[in-house]
Amino acid sequence: TRSIDVAVVAGDGIGPEVTAEGLKVLDAVLAGSGTTVRTTPFDLGAARWHRTGETLPDADLEAIRGHDAILLGAVGDPGVPSGVLERGLLLKLRFALDHYVNLRPSRLFPGVATPLAAPGEVDFVVVREGTEGPYVGNGGAIRVGTPHEVANEVSVNTAFGVERVVRDAFARATARPRKQLTLVHKHNVLVHAGHLWRRTVEAVGADFPDVTVDYVHVDAAMIYLVTNPSRFDVIVTDNLFGDIVTDLAAAITGGIGLAASGNVNPDRTTPSMFEPVHGSAPDIAGQGKADPTAAVLSVALMLEHLGLADEARRIETAVAADLAARGTAVRSTAEVGDALAAAV
């Protein structure tokens, strides 16, 4: 029998609530499968910060590194200054573990309510760069708090970083039936980074002659996501555009409670990390209201990454059936998790 070792960072707000359901479904799907799972919880997030002032000490990072994968709930808390946990814990994990592919699939499952009147078939995946862009913290401010304050957040785009994520996106596009790749950027204004992305897509595209390449400015992409989302198959984009695009992508495919993601290191030199696209949702935390489906689908992405494709499919099938049967019934976080665990 094979054993998988999963580090669990449940985090803040609804993070622990949805993660508990993800783990329930993970246990259920692996029961009797010949694969066993060992989970190790890490006490990281707001509570740890309040107690010790720490966000992600080296000892925890090194311990996490030794696992096969990481499941994360959500981080961020109204009682902690904004950015402390987001940068000091979540982004530190993504950067330290070189999660350069932030994989965010968007699929409108049958029977799911969408705000779009005529959505058509929606099934695309956003390959969001995960280690560069304005997220790297290259910036600073002077004369803070004065009328002469200057605040800079510099977007860092390296040929190396752009090439590797673009190549990954092409590889995903070529493996999909429609074989279509859309670069989303803003090269009409961000001429330095934009043209690096454009040239890279052109160059890497030569190695993938069966993939059709398209380009859409990010503002227009917001239009098409609402008016014609079927035009997208694989979207490749930078870290910040990808963050924004994928919240809208979630909203049109049934809501943020359904959107799963993987922070992937395709070279497999470090454990990849799987988490819902949503945050800690302080507005509904502690009420048992959060939809754990995104966390459960993130478990499926993790299993797929670990080579357990059958188990991943069983989770997706259970989620699809649950979504189709949902209607307008209001269920608690645990009720949804129990139903999915029973169905896999």
Q: Which does 181 bind (CB under 5 to 8 A by kind): ligand IPM, Mn ion, ligand NAD, none?
A: none
> For residues 82 and 212, which CB has a smaller minimum distance to ligand IPM in the complex?
82
Counting residues that bind ligand IPM (by CB under 6 A) gives 7
> Does an H or E element contain 72, and which?
strand 69-74
Among 6, 90, 184, 308, binds ligand IPM (CB under 6 A): 90
Q: Which does 54 bind (CB under 5 to 8 A by kind): ligand NAD, Mn ion, ligand IPM, none?
A: none
Among 123, 243, 304, 311, binds Mn ion (CB under 5 A): 243
Residue 214 marked in a binding site: no
Task: Give one word for 133, left, alpha or beta, with left for phi > 0 and alpha for psi -120 to 50.
Answer: left
Using CA atoms in the order 190, 191, 194, 198, what is the torsion angle rounded to 10 degrees? Answer: 160
Just list the catalytic residues.
Answer: 135, 186, 219, 243, 247
Q: Which does 91 bind (CB under 5 to 8 A by kind): ligand IPM, ligand NAD, Mn ion, none?
A: ligand IPM
State the Cα–Cα distance between residues 59 and 63, nearest whole angstrom: 6
Question: Under the rule (CB under 6 A), what is the footprint of ligand NAD?
Answer: 14, 18, 74-76, 86, 90, 256-257, 275, 278-284, 290-291, 294
Residue 247 marked in a binding site: yes
Least Å distance, CB 285 to ligand NAD, is 8
Tokens of 99: 């999660």
Least Å distance, CB 129 to ligand IPM, is 11
Question: Is 162 one of the binding residues for ligand IPM (CB under 6 A)?
Answer: no
State the Cα–Cα distance between residues 295 and 71, nearest whole angstrom: 9
> For residues 134 and 337, which CB has a smaller minimum distance to ligand IPM in the complex?
134
C-alpha atoms less than 13 angstroms from C-alpha of 333 in its C-beta half-sphere: 24
Q: Tell me if residue 319 falls in helix, strand or coil.
A: helix
Residue 291 marked in a binding site: yes
Sign of the CA dihedral with 234 first, then 230, 250, and 242 last: positive
C-alpha atoms less than 13 angstroms from C-alpha of 128 in its C-beta half-sphere: 26
State the Cα–Cα distance between residues 109 and 49, nearest whole angstrom: 39
Provide the binding-site residues for ligand IPM, judged by CB under 6 A.
Answer: 76, 86, 90-91, 243, 277, 279
Per the annotation, binding residues for Mg(2+) are 219, 243, 247
Residues near Mn ion (CB under 5 A) are 243
